[in-house]
Amino acid sequence: MQIIEQAGRPVDSPVWQDVVNVLAGSSVRVRISFDDFTGKTVYHCHILDHEDSGMMGLIEDR
């Protein structure tokens, strides 16, 4: 994915990365390429309590 916006501000030069640290109360907007992939994949928080509370979801590319 590429982080294209952090805390409401556009990122000047997005780079490809697998994880991003999102500070409490903040947000990020990401761009994901599905050119070479179809099917389902998950996104989730690495803090297990958060993940169990709903910070996990499915993305399906058809």
What is the binding site for Cu ion (CB under 5 A)?
Answer: 45, 47, 50, 55
* Shortest separation between residue 52's beta carbon and Cu ion, angstroms: 10
Q: Please, are residues 20 and 28 in contact by the beta-carbon 8 Å criterion?
A: yes
- In angstroms, give the least distance from the CB of 47 to Cu ion: 4
Residue in 43, 9, 13, 7 with CA at minimum distance from that of residue 25: 7
Nearest CB to Cu ion, comparing residues 28 and 55: 55
Nearer to Cu ion, 11 or 45 (CB): 45
